[in-house]
Structure 1
């Protein structure tokens, strides 16, 4: 394994998988994707690659197999100077959200991430419910979730706000920083130790691009001022992998105004461990946590041990995740039935006729 690929975050199991593939293939990591083309960084530099027939077939069977930013792939060079992505290595982790169009399939935002940084601007005041939603997605990815509060130079109570956020983010570190003054940046940089990959998630105007520039020490990404109504403008328009000069990899993502969960059962339990622990104590296993007798969640609400705001946020996300699970189950059943009918028709047509 070359030093260049190690710097990009290549681990031994993925390297072994790519090396075992037949043919003269070159490993690389997807930097960005543009309409069927992937920009891939190899040990010899970046290349542009189209998708092979095998990859296109995999995508047709499962859209989540589409190469995305952070994927490790195997490349083939052709005599006519074409380069194709021949295979995508299994993903260690993947940030998956529900597709914007309402499909029951999920969209992979980034792959092979070690840290998911939920980036939230301290100005205007953070939306705690939105942070919980992002954290559920981050936990579900299999990576380490962290909340990074930016724009500390614009407020006078950053530490107080961080305490409130930490209460809503059990199990996740909460860091405060300023890309303008440099406050807290070393703590954020430490998340990239060991050539780690960190994906940035957040709404437009959260300060993701400014944070990337501060970590890189140079102006790599455009930065736009926040609008007068407090909403951010979309600066990043695509997911892009950036190798930082001091080591580590950052994946910047466009601002997400809508973030639907995709079957985030484990992620929700990890984002709400306090509520999950209470739910496990209910008298009935199928407790809906509304009016049932012996409901530990309702008892905690009455005693003030659980805030109404956090309970309502949990209920909303639980319902959303359950809905998406039902839709995905229905889709899988329909696909299985379609495949069974096709196989039955094939067997019938292939049988010898008397």
Structure 2
């Protein structure tokens, strides 16, 4: 089998990085991730990759392990199995705080050109959640696009768009309905040869159904809308798929939580309307509580800014600051453990 990895997004820049680093290794792209094993597409077909011991030793956390979308160096082991010896530099990545109480980064997908943030126009419509996604999306290095699904279930699309336009800036939006084929032509127009697009969103927003429309088959398992008008989660793992018409698309499991990392600058990008209003305050260090000449309080009072949006901004800023503190502590703990291992391995030998 002879695979052209350009079909899978390989560019000359990435290939040059490969040639600089490779000795006898091959290059491949991670298309699926299953616990400690990775399905990798190479020029000879699919290979099952496992992280080499040296790479495991050099990692500082979950974010340094391979993820779907990564270009990796492979050292052939036997048959269709190989060792992943290195991850090539990522041009983009979408990360969140790992689910649960751990304070670590989870890399969801890498090396994508566009991030499609999917949100349904039914009861799942949630501007606060959209703020979280867009904040992380701005930090990814990819171009965010908002895909508003299930338009056939929305009573007033114009009102929903107006709500979003008041809070989200600089991001293209596409309204779609996989049932009535609304907006699918706009979606298809964004597909290009070698371009990688990742779909993100909560469980049941219709990502898999939309992907099936794009693929023209029932590749992704889907389920009907449940009685409460919410979709049901179907995708259980991330998967990178090649499109017949050119381009690559990545489906991801629905996310119950979208924990922020230390995205302070990206929060300011998402809430730039609030930042711009805050710059008009009389005092540069205004806390927007009781100071005279506070532009934020004035904007809320005259209806220019909703108190709900401002409170959400404050909440996310506190969460980002808390996460930064916790992540820094976790990094210091890892460094301390690494120093301990280094010290033990260099103890003086007694004669």
Please give the TM-score of this superposition, normalised by the length of structure 1.
0.91
* C-alpha deviation, 1:179, in angstroms: 1.4
CA–CA separation in structure 2 for the residues paired with 1:105 and 1:329: 10
**1:20 aligned to 2:20?**
yes
CA–CA separation in structure 2 for the residues paired with 1:48 and 1:267: 36
Question: Equivalent residue of 1:147, what SS?
Answer: strand
Question: Equivalent residue of 1:187, what SS?
Answer: helix
CA–CA separation in structure 1 for the residues paired with 2:14 and 2:160: 40
Question: Equivalent residue of 2:240, what SS?
Answer: strand
CA–CA separation in structure 1 for the residues paired with 2:35 and 2:333: 28
Deviations 1:295-342 (A, max 9, x none): 332222122211112112211111111110111122233444555666
Which residue in the other structure is 1:159 paired with? Answer: 158
CA–CA separation in structure 2 for the residues paired with 1:29 and 1:340: 33
Which residue in the other structure is 1:7 paired with? Answer: 7
For these two proteins, the number of residue pairs brought into alignment is 350
CA–CA separation in structure 2 for the residues paired with 1:3 and 1:169: 41
CA–CA separation in structure 2 for the residues paired with 1:57 and 1:81: 24
* C-alpha deviation, 1:109, in angstroms: 0.5
Which residue in the other structure is 1:204 paired with? Answer: 203
CA–CA separation in structure 2 for the residues paired with 1:76 and 1:304: 61
The answer to whether the 8 A contact 2:114-2:197 is kept is yes
CA–CA separation in structure 2 for the residues paired with 1:66 and 1:339: 17
* C-alpha deviation, 1:226, in angstroms: 2.4
**1:314 aligned to 2:313?**
yes
The answer to whether the 8 A contact 1:289-1:298 is kept is yes
Summarize the alignment of residues 247-266 of structure 1 with structure 2, pairs less than 5 Å apart.
Answer: 247-266=246-265
The answer to whether the 8 A contact 1:139-1:266 is kept is no
Distance 1:296 1:345, change over 3 A: farther
Which residue in the other structure is 1:117 paired with? Answer: 116
Between Structure 1 and Structure 2, the one with more helix by share is 1
**1:270 aligned to 2:259?**
no
CA–CA separation in structure 1 for the residues paired with 2:303 and 2:3: 54
* C-alpha deviation, 1:86, in angstroms: 1.5
Deviations 1:9-50 (A, max 9, x none): 122222111122232222111011112110011233222111
Question: Equivalent residue of 1:20, what SS?
Answer: helix
Question: Equivalent residue of 1:76, what SS?
Answer: strand
Deviations 1:206-256 (A, max 9, x none): 000001001111111011122223333220001111111111111111111
The answer to whether the 8 A contact 1:140-1:268 is kept is no
CA–CA separation in structure 2 for the residues paired with 1:266 and 1:213: 36
CA–CA separation in structure 1 for the residues paired with 2:77 and 2:349: 42
The answer to whether the 8 A contact 1:150-1:178 is kept is yes
Distance 1:144 1:343, change over 3 A: same
**1:289 aligned to 2:288?**
yes
Distance 1:291 1:195, change over 3 A: farther
CA–CA separation in structure 2 for the residues paired with 1:224 and 1:162: 27
**1:55 aligned to 2:55?**
yes
Summarize the alignment of residues 42-191 of structure 1 with structure 2, pairs less than 5 Å apart.
Answer: 42-59=42-59, 61-78=60-77, 82-124=81-123, 126-191=125-190
Question: Equivalent residue of 1:210, what SS?
Answer: helix
The answer to whether the 8 A contact 2:48-2:80 is kept is no
CA–CA separation in structure 2 for the residues paired with 1:262 and 1:253: 19
**1:237 aligned to 2:222?**
no
* C-alpha deviation, 1:131, in angstroms: 1.0
Distance 1:80 1:43, change over 3 A: closer
The answer to whether the 8 A contact 1:120-1:150 is kept is yes
* C-alpha deviation, 1:285, in angstroms: 4.3
Deviations 1:257-277 (A, max 9, x none): 111111111221121111122
**Unaligned regions of 5+ residues in structure 1, if any?**
none
* C-alpha deviation, 1:70, in angstroms: 0.6
**Unaligned regions of 5+ residues in structure 2, if any?**
none
CA–CA separation in structure 2 for the residues paired with 1:82 and 1:122: 44
CA–CA separation in structure 2 for the residues paired with 1:342 and 1:3: 42
